[in-house]
Structure 1
Amino acid sequence: MRPFFEKFPPSLVGAEACDWTKICAGEEEKPVYVGPRLLEALSRLNMASSTEALRDGLADAARQMGFPYIALVQHGGLPRLVECSMVVTNYPAKFVQSYIANHYYVIDPVYEVSQLLDRPFGWEEISNVVELADHQHALFKEAGRYGIVHGVTVPLHIPSESYASCTFARPEPIEITPSLMTTLQIIAGFAFRAGLYLHHAMHDRNVPRLTRREAECTALIALGKTDWEIGQILGIAQTTVRYFITRAKQRYGVFRRSELVARAIIDAQVIRDGQDRDSKVPESADDKPERG
């Protein structure tokens, strides 16, 4: 299969698929192949040891996708920002100062729409979702003076965390394709997770632990396998595969398989081929009743 990201700049996604990492774009969609350059960008985000390093890594990935500006913001419930909220941005300093001084975050329609949608959206869609007031049009006009004109925003909703979003912006229009949206969503998800580790010291929190079967099923999803193929590989029924996947998603509090895979990769719970599965992920008593 040809790389899903072949339409993107080769400087980021590369022309060859990584040997094992494929992130499923949706429950029924074809697998998304993560090229080595994109994988490198994601690894850089995951290994960021400071907010500045995260900002630089996210900005570099965004630039290679054609977006010079980024804003990763944990904005919580309107009409105010969360206290000590996470803000990672390279927006021009003068615009940021004006944004804060004028309390634009109270009326920012980007935040409002990001709490209404569960998918990435182009700013051209905003007026179809909410009715814009004059002061909101004024906000976009001021942003435009700094080159923040056309944007794509990725809503980031993690249970137990405040609402957040990651925006990629540029001065000129850009063709918004499903593959572009998928790539930006993956980049935003990794950046947000890394930001939470830095901002809330998540490395000190308890990480949900997948059982052996749950980890195996998740790893095979990452390889692009179907439920039937996973069942054949593990020697269990297809319904049992779905049970383990559902339970793994419940442990993480996510609804999509792509979210499960991303979270498990970051938490080092995805088992690669050739890895000693029994030593890394112990078999749980919970697994035994569900074996085929």
Structure 2
Amino acid sequence: MEHVPTTAVSQLPGPTTRVPDQFSLVPSMHFPNAARKALAIEFGRFLDQTDGVDQSKQLFDLLSAFALNFDCPWIAYGSHTPDGKLLKPIRRGPAVMLNYPDEWQQRYFEMGYDKIDPIIKASRTRPGAFRWSEVHNDASTTEDGRRVFDEAATFGLRSGISVPLRGPGGSFAIMSFARPGGREFPNRAVTYLQLAALHFHLRATKFATSTAIEQAPNLSVREKECILWTARGKSSWEIGVILGISVNTVNFHIKKVKQKLDTSSRTAAAIKAANLRVIEL
């Protein structure tokens, strides 16, 4: 199997991220014969488990569990449209689902990195899965684009791959898998994760197209205020100061918003609230 040199993305200094034992289900990323057979079994189990699933959140959880076989505790899925905008039209499907560290989600959203993220640009032209290091080292990637990778590494996301997933009308989605270790993804790992991402996308798209456009939930005035300031990049402490309430109260309202919008993070909730026109940025 080819060896891909470690790049600046994985060499950057950053906080030490200890991945729990359950994130290391495969003893060696070189995949000896026993491990290869185990991966084939795990992939088959993943496909079988998704057969009876009819909710995007359950599907996402199953994919997250499968990604742990490759030491990937973090995954992210986002739907895009031909004009490059995220999350339109909003349907009862996973326009955005992710379990990235909350601090990185907030930083990414606050800095507007979606406008310069080289992963999004690369996904529009590349035919299949690619390693982040390939894009980081590409001559066409700007310094601003490299900064997105470099900052992600300081939050623990030190290596990753992304899978472009195309749909009708020029729309597409991106599934990314990230891990804290600096090792590159072997070809076999890339292949399995690409197949799993494609399966997720096909199932998720089916959910989205088989249901009506999602209705905006009813948020209280305080919930709208809290998620609005979250969308503007403010922390819970800052929101508390602005609204004159405690941090615990802010977190309580944001938690309620996440539940009502069926999202797993405050960042995803803020994006979804804006696109449903619950709030006006």
TM above 0.5, yes or no, is yes
Distance 1:142 1:126 in 2: 15
Q: Figure out how many residues of one structure are paired with residues of the other and give that number.
A: 180
Distance 1:8 1:160 in 2: 42
- Partner of residue 70, structure 2: 65
- Partner of residue 149, structure 2: 140
Summarize deviations over 1:164-204 as a string: whole Å, max 9, x none. Answer: 1211111112343332221111111011112212333279x
Matched, 1:107 2:131: no
TM-score normalised to the size of structure 2?
A: 0.56
Matched, 1:55 2:60: yes
| Structure 2: 5+ residue stretches without partners | 1-28, 213-281
Identity, in percent, stands at: 26
Q: State the superposition RMSD in angstroms.
A: 2.9
Sort the Cα spacing of 1:93 and 1:133 in 2 relative to 1 into closer, same or farther, 3 A. same
**Partners of 1:79 and 1:105 within 8 A in 2:** no
Distance 2:197 2:189 in 1: 12
Bigger drift between 70-79 and 144-153 goes to 70-79
Sort the Cα spacing of 1:6 and 1:168 in 2 relative to 1 into closer, same or farther, 3 A. same
**Partners of 1:55 and 1:90 within 8 A in 2:** no
- Partner of residue 91, structure 1: 100
| Structure 1: 5+ residue stretches without partners | 16-33, 204-292
Where is the helix percentage greater, Structure 1 or Structure 2? 2
**Partners of 1:78 and 1:106 within 8 A in 2:** no
**Partners of 1:196 and 1:202 within 8 A in 2:** no
TM-score normalised to the size of structure 1?
A: 0.54
- Partner of residue 166, structure 2: 157
Sort the Cα spacing of 1:94 and 1:51 in 2 relative to 1 into closer, same or farther, 3 A. farther
Distance 1:87 1:118 in 2: 22
The structure with the largest alpha-carbon Rg is 1
Q: 1:140, CA displacement in angstroms?
A: 1.8
- Partner of residue 191, structure 1: 200
- Partner of residue 127, structure 2: 118
Distance 1:118 1:36 in 2: 27
The higher-RCO structure (CA 8 Å, 6+ apart) is 2
Q: Which residue identity is paired with 1:59?
A: S
- SS of residue paired to 1:115: helix
